[in-house]
Amino acid sequence: MCLRLCRSCISYKPQRTLATVTQSVNDAEGFENLSTSLAEHDQPRISVRDRLRVWEQENQASAHRLLDDLPFNERLGNFLTRVWEQENQASAHRLLDDLPFNERLGNFLTRPQTVRTFTDEHDTRQAKNDLYDGDVLSDLRGQTSALLAGDLVETRFGGSRLPVLAICLGRHHGLQYFYLNTGEVLAYQSLVALFTVTNYVDPAVLQPIVDLLPSEPFTRPRNVLHHVRTPQALRTAADLQGRLTKFYAEAVHFYQSSLKHMDGASEHVADPNKRTYLSLEELADRMLPAFLREGSTFSSHVLYAVNLALQRHGWGFRPLNAKWHRRNYIYEVQPGSDIALLQLVESRVRRLVDGAYLRDNPGQSASLLKQNDLGRFILRARAIVNANRRNRPWTPHGMIGPSSQMAEDLPQWEESDLKYIRFMELWACRRVIPQASQIDSLGSSILRLTQLYSESDWVAHWTAFTFLQEIGWIPPWDIPARYEYRFPDTEISRGGSLSRPSVDVEASMRPDIAAGARRDWGETKIFCVDSDQTADVDDGFSIEATDVAGEHWIHIHIADPASVIDPASPLASYIESMPSSLYLAGYPEKMLPPELEQKFSLNPGKPVLTFSAKVNEEGDVLGYNVEPGTVHNVVHMTKREVTSILPGLQSLESGGDAAFSVGKDPGPRPPVKKITTADELTAEDREGLLLLDRLGEALKDRRAAKGQLPTLQSRLPSPEVSFRPISAKQHATDPNASMAWNGDPFIKFSHSSYSQADRLVERMMHTAGEVAAKWCQSRNIPAPYSTQPEALRNAAELKRLREEVVDPLTAAGKPLPPALLQQLFGLIGTSELSAQPAPFYSVGLDAYTKASSPLRRYTDLIVHWQIHAALAHERATGTPPAVVASTTEAGEHADASAPPSLPWSHDALSRLLPALQARQRQIREVDSRDGPTQWIFQALLRAWKFGGAPLPERFAFVVDAVLPFGIRGRLRDFYGIGAVVPLARLDVGTKLAETNVGDVLTVEIRDMNTYTTELEVEPVRGEDEAETEGAAGA
């Protein structure tokens, strides 16, 4: 008989909780033999996994089981198209409604929804985090909310390579409805859109179908067209089907007629040795002849054909983030050397397969494994891992265990071995193909031949991550999130920081553009409120009285590197490629070179660009100004010291949970600067801070009337990570040898808190952004304005939701339930950077641009560069800067006699902003979501499996969603960490319909994965019923 496993089973061993394995038996005799074998070993309650292991022991068909699904005669791209996906497309996307196509089910179920994340610095290299962006969550939401009725989108469901075209019907009751080319009308909270054509259909054409949409919210929306017999709606559906069919046919026709350009896409655009990052339009421009353009761009169906070509190529092109993929989004283009490496590994695995078919147990056949360099690598890796396990235990949970012993030997690798280690890096760390693909088959085949992971239920990319830890290639505590940083000319070093090319700082400097025009702030006291470990201080504030009682000038003084950095210099390009400082715990990276950062960090004698607002006690902005200056009397204070002076606000930190930590606490570092305490302030200084706080409160009230969101408590703790307890050992002469580490990181986290000092600083920074936007808007100067167009369209619904539900809950000090947060932010939509000002709902301003962090954020530097250029022009000509609104790109001038232009015109900045926004969102997801979650899961694993910290045996699990495949929720008494109860963990006969959102179950941890951040829990048996908790209190 032959037992054939599907592609997924190559990397998956059956288990009773996370998935099921479908088997097919090819002949009756084989089925009878299998049944007999299982019957002989049948035991009470024996699991499927154990049954299969018994069968495997008696039926040595390892080679066939291992590699039966490898495509011996197919190209890589064709292998990924499966018959099942074609035959079950409709049912698949209904089953996987809203699942991210590149994530496993458990990851989607357990990933927490980050609302706000704060970080307290522990490492002296670490700068302060981006506390006051105005709308942190917006950068973590899906792209669907930006779609409008009539937009055409392409999506793919469940990892399928088959495209599904859809036309957006608009948002109704918090859900986006789409007409799909499958003939269905379905609703999605956040559909992954891989390609978008705006205004493809006139919204008026859609009205007959829109009239059929439910008039009331549905918890489980179904196909709206099911059983519909309305003639007009059916004619409209037929019309839309025809349009989608025509669009797809035109794209396919173009694709087929341009195969010589399309099929060789990688050869046309890939660099031989380094990754490059190009937008869809840039890729089309390089792949296609210029005569195919229609004016300045390609037609929509041509761009879609290019999109299809990139998706078919599979491995050579990777969207930086599929959630944000749009026509102007960025692809990572893999280098030719890595493509060749994949082809090499494929051929080596096939060669082993040929020999494996002749052996019952190929993994134990030394003669087989010694036939090529891949087999020899497997033998060498097996010995190294077995030796390493004497110091650090293996776990099936995504990382290896802790240790306080240092390995004696540092094994060296042959040159040929490094190719396979690089392959494992590409597969497990860089995830060059996030979907299931042939790479998973190749990688899992290699790992199975090592015979090191036979006890693992899954042999997948996270197993390869563990393998790299076990051979000493990456640290035992490494986290995959840091490999998601994807910037040009940047590599992730082994266990260390980013590796970036050097830049000539001195050659990028210019004379101070504001020389001779700076205001001397003299003895004005400027308060800088930061951690005592913050070395890059880029903002402070002061107060000044006017001649009118009750009116004051609030001055926000911002560091001024833009005054001497040439915006057209190599340094500016260097910063643009990584447009923000990175705040991943344990691995901070500065945007600016350290020497430049310290040159401009706020201290006495430093240059500043000051944003000033004249305000009264009612919070009205009566005037504003922007001017360069020099500060002298700078006072550095911690938030704790400032909070001791300010009245009022109670901390939003939940009182029940103390800090949780694992590892040896290295203790605090000494301050990196002189800190002034509250006791050292004069009475006048204290009055000044109290006045600033009072005026900030008035400004907040004015903004709240226009929609500014209340401060929301973070659902995700912000971990503090220190490597000081660890020592590392490297080979003296061989940089490619294995490394060894003694000890493990100290990880500590607790609920994020929001203090009076946080409140004050946030309001001052919002004021700086308001002044910067007003100043630029009044002069028609393009800048990176923050906008929320979806909030404008949903203004009436937002107003009702805020007044009836959100504001009463926040006024009562109650947290907002996840479902309500999802509804709220679905109506607000995504934040978009625009060169044109527009209202920004989350901060309650008619125009807003971030200008308070030029040491840490490139878009803030752009604002400063634009302002400095306009001010310089005004000083030189006496002409209002509005005359320079139509300008050339950075570094270019219309003619030699023309006055200096703005560095960016409206068109130039509009072309730049999408790429900047894509990179900033990518950074945000790593720093504020994926990275913190993975550190928290590491700490939890060390406590759960190795006793690294006291941990309750049982937890209170709050139900957030009841899904067809399980229950999603969070651990109420352990920092709200997300978890899932799969169906297999429920008692037989349990009905999901009887479980409601807000129910509280008593659960125990059963499984977890630090790589995918899955936490699987099981209800405690014998519980009579779930405790019910009101939705508002959940």
Distances (CA, A) of 446 to 461, 463, 697, 767: 12, 11, 62, 57
Structure pTM? 0.83
Residue 108, pLDDT > 60, answer no
Average pLDDT (379-389) is 94
Rounded to 10 degrees, the C-alpha dihedral 7/12/18/21 comes to 60
CB environment 619-658: b (16+ within 10 A), e (fewer): bebeebebbbbbbeebbbbbbebbbebbeebeebeeeeee
Q: In a 10 Å sphere around its CB, with 0-12 CB exposed, 13-18 middle and 19+ buried, how is residue 502 labelled?
A: exposed
Q: What does the radius of gyration of the chain's CA atoms come to, in whole angstroms? A: 30
Rounded Cα distance between 401 and 383, Å, is 18
Which pLDDT band holds residue 1 (cuts at 50, 70, 90)?
Answer: very low
Q: Phi, psi (5° rounding) for residue 820? A: -70, -40
Domains of the chain, first to last: 3-72 (no CATH), 341-488 (no CATH), 506-734+748-794+829-926 (no CATH), 952-1033 (2.40.50.140)
Q: Which run of H or E residues covers position 966?
A: strand 966-971
Would you state the pLDDT for residue 880?
60
Q: Which amino acid does the sequence have at 331?
A: Y
Rounded Cα distance between 178 and 188, Å, is 8
Residue 631 per-residue DSSP state: -
Closest CA to 470 of 404, 387, 528, 544: 387
CB 873 within 8 A of CB 900: yes
The tokens of 831 are what? 């934040």
Rounded Cα distance between 877 and 47, Å, is 83
For 8-59, write each residue's pLDDT tens digit.
343 444 333 333 333 333 333 333 443 444 344 444 556 676 777 676 666 6
Rounded to 10 degrees, the C-alpha dihedral 822/824/827/833 comes to -90
Query: Lowest-pLDDT range, 38-52, 613-627, 696-710, 718-732?
Result: 38-52
Average pLDDT (188-204) is 86
Distances (CA, A) of 53 to 12, 20, 41, 420, 955: 13, 15, 11, 29, 33
DSSP 476-535: TT--GGGGG---TT-EE-TTS-EE-----TGGGB---TTTT--EE-TT--EEEE--TT--
Give me the numbers of helices (H) and strands (E) for the chain, helices first please.
32, 32
For 205-224, write each residue's pLDDT tens digit.
999 999 988 877 666 667 88
For 791-819, write each residue's pLDDT tens digit.
998 899 999 999 999 999 988 888 888 88
The tokens of 1023 are what? 């519980």
For 557-580, write each residue's pLDDT tens digit.
999 999 999 999 999 999 999 999
* 815 Cβ neighbours under 8 A, 6+ residues apart: 713, 809, 1033, 1034
Sign for the pseudo-dihedral over CA of 145, 151, 155, 157: positive
Residue 1009, pLDDT > 60, answer yes
Distances (CA, A) of 976 to 21, 817, 956, 972, 1031: 32, 12, 10, 5, 15
Rounded Cα distance between 881 and 873, Å, is 7
Most distant pair of Cα atoms in the chain: their distance: 100
The residue behind tokens 């002296």 is 124
Q: Are strands 164-172 and 152-155 parallel, antiparallel or unpaired?
A: antiparallel
Q: How far is CA 864 from the centre of its chain?
A: 28
Would you state the pLDDT for residue 1015?
97
Rounded Cα distance between 848 and 845, Å, is 6
- Number of Cβ within 10 Å of residue 17's Cβ equals 18
Q: Phi, psi (5° rounding) for residue 360? A: -75, -40
First vs last Cα of the chain: how many Å apart? 54
The tokens of 138 are what? 């917006």
